Structure 1
């Protein structure tokens, strides 16, 4: 009986964390004109009410930026792998070119969120942009996971400890008016794995099933 109740509770928990998907009614028609899509650095927020000793907000901001560019690279890498199998109707702009163009216009990571998507598309010369937001809540106790993440990131591992909740959203905006065309919300609860890559892989594995540029 206890095992049954535990299984039922687990099913309810998993259902409550299911993805939410939005797609604009006009997107099916609009996407036929899309040829090149850029992947933007993700907007990352690490939330903790109390930082461990020796960890400053500047260090947190640096970690958020590094994670943002890291997720961008991971997502682009996933798209490249799928493109090699001819699974998409569009091509994706190389992220090094995307970031170089943004840098040439003096647009920093922190300034990206203040720019409209149509403006970004025009600067990059693309038909749409893929972007996203990731929020990490309550990393370990007293922010210990943040310290772990910063230390191991400096070593090149990009490792994080147990995290209660990670919310990630991946979106597509078109170039003409910057309108939101598609949105996928994904939540990972409990331990999400030991690296940024594991989070991105989980996001892409799930969202790719409904990705609108996928060939039918």
Structure 2
């Protein structure tokens, strides 16, 4: 299978709708007990009406998986930088350890979302988990450039990116917090651009922030 390399990434400008935020009434009580939180790979869906020539469904599925792990790593890196500033009330489990524990328990990227959150917390030995979802809608032409291992390039102005970050507690797996964020990307949108926008916006309301 021929692989295409994407050589040019242009600057990104995101326009977004106001975020939708849910916080459970029990969060403040649970927050006091939480010491360690894990971040699991994001659930990524890339929607397209038509695949470019030479691109298969399997290639898109692999990109979704790579992108999901990439967003997990980006989120972890962001939270670490915030922790270094003593901004959070919790510590975050290293994502390498998280992924190794999931693999040892037979939990793969494909069955992660069908596994109960309380079971995942037990496997990881944490008090809560942060998870995320990104659904990207973009029309593709036959000439669209694809770089295997990178996000599909050449975004159009009509593309939409719906993302969310959630926190589930460990005892019962209940949803404690959810942040929904919608954005549209200009030409050249990439994973780092999306994660930067998502984390920058969600961090203002992140409930483990000491100012929350």
CA distance in 1, matches of 2:114, 2:82: 31
For structure 1, the 5+ residue unaligned runs are 1-13
CA distance in 1, matches of 2:90, 2:169: 13
CA distance in 1, matches of 2:184, 2:23: 25
Q: Structure 1 residues 186, 143: CA separation in 2 closer, same or farther (over 3 Å shift)?
A: farther
Task: Say if 1:78 and 1:204, in contact at 8 Å, map to a contact too.
Answer: yes
| Alignment match, 2:3 | none
RCO higher in 1 or 2 (8 Å CA, sep ≥ 6)? 2
Structure 1: 4+ residue segments shifted above 6 A: none
| Alignment match, 1:63 | 63
Aligned Cα root-mean-square deviation (Å): 1.7
Q: Structure 1 residues 209, 193: CA separation in 2 closer, same or farther (over 3 Å shift)?
A: farther
For structure 2, the 5+ residue unaligned runs are 1-14
Task: Say if 2:78 and 2:199, in contact at 8 Å, map to a contact too.
Answer: yes
CA distance in 1, matches of 2:147, 2:33: 41
Residue 137 of structure 1 deviates from its aligned partner by: 0.2
Q: Structure 1 residues 206, 81: CA separation in 2 closer, same or farther (over 3 Å shift)?
A: same
Report the TM-score, using the length of structure 2 for normalisation: 0.87
Deviations 1:95-147 (A, max 9, x none): 000000001111110010110100000000000000011000024x33755x4
Task: Indicate the structure (1 or 2) with the bigger Cα radius of gyration.
Answer: 1
Task: Say if 1:131 and 1:170, in contact at 8 Å, map to a contact too.
Answer: yes
| Alignment match, 2:209 | 214
CA distance in 1, matches of 2:196, 2:132: 14
Number of aligned pairs?
A: 195
CA distance in 2, matches of 1:126, 1:23: 20
Aligned pair partner of 1:160 in 138, 153, 159: 153
Report the TM-score, using the length of structure 1 for normalisation: 0.85
Q: Structure 1 residues 20, 90: CA separation in 2 closer, same or farther (over 3 Å shift)?
A: same
Residue 197 of structure 1 deviates from its aligned partner by: 0.8
